[in-house]
Amino acid sequence: MGVVHELLREVELPRMVKVRQSFASDRIEDVASEVLKELRQEKIRSTIRPGMRVCITAGSRGINQFALMVKTIAAFVRECGAEPFIIPAMGSHGGCTAEGQREILTGYGITEAYCGCPILSSMETVKICETPDGHDVKIDRCAAEADGIIVFNRVKPHTHFRGRYESGIMKMMTIGLGKQAGAASAHDTGIVHLGEVVETFGNLVRTHAKVLFGLASVENAYDQVCRVTAMTNAEIPEVEPGLQAYAKERMGRILLPESDVLVIDEIGKNFSGPGHDPNVSGSFSNPWTRGGHKKQRLVILDLSEESHGNASGVGLADFTTQRLVDKMKREMADANCITAITLEECKIPLTLENHEDAIKAGVRTCTDIDRRQVRIVRIPNTLHLGEIYLSESLLGEARRHPDIEILSDPEPFAFDENGNLFA
Around Cβ 256, how many Cβ atoms within 10 Å?
19
Around Cβ 423, how many Cβ atoms within 10 Å?
5
Q: Which of 74, 87, 91 is nearest to 182 (CA)?
A: 91
User: Which residues sit opposite 55 in a β-bridge?
Assistant: 85, 149
Under DSSP, is residue 121 helix (H, G, I), strand (E, B) or coil?
Answer: coil
Q: What is the DSSP string of 340-405?
A: HT-GGGGS--EEESSHHHHHHHHHHT--S--GGG--EEEES-SS--SEEEEEGGGHHHHHH-TTEE
Give long-range contacts, CB 8 A cutoff, 24+ apart: 36-40: 36/72, 36/76, 38/215, 38/228, 38/229, 38/230, 39/72, 39/73, 39/76, 39/215, 39/230, 40/76
Per-residue pLDDT of the chain (423 residues; tens, 9 = 90+): 689 999 999 999 999 999 999 999 999 999 999 999 999 999 999 999 999 999 999 997 789 999 999 999 999 999 999 999 999 998 877 878 999 999 999 999 999 999 999 999 999 999 999 999 888 999 999 999 999 999 999 999 887 767 788 889 999 999 889 888 877 777 776 666 777 888 999 999 999 999 999 999 999 999 899 999 999 999 999 999 999 999 999 999 999 999 999 999 999 988 887 899 999 999 987 777 778 999 999 999 999 998 888 898 999 999 999 999 999 987 777 776 777 677 777 889 999 999 999 999 999 999 999 999 999 999 999 999 999 999 999 999 999 999 999 999 999 999 999 999 987
Backbone angles phi, psi at 117, to 5 degrees: -155, 165
Backbone angles phi, psi at 59, to 5 degrees: -90, -165
Q: Which of 19, 1, 21 is nearest to 9 (CA)?
A: 1
DSSP letter at 110 equals -
| HSE-CB for 404 with a 13 A CA cutoff | 22
Global confidence as pTM: 0.80
Under DSSP, is residue 127 helix (H, G, I), strand (E, B) or coil?
Answer: strand
Give the Cα separation of 377 and 414 in Å (integer).
Answer: 15
Domain spanning 31-250: which CATH class is it, in words? alpha beta
Q: Where in the chain is the domain with CATH 3.40.50.11440?
A: 31-250
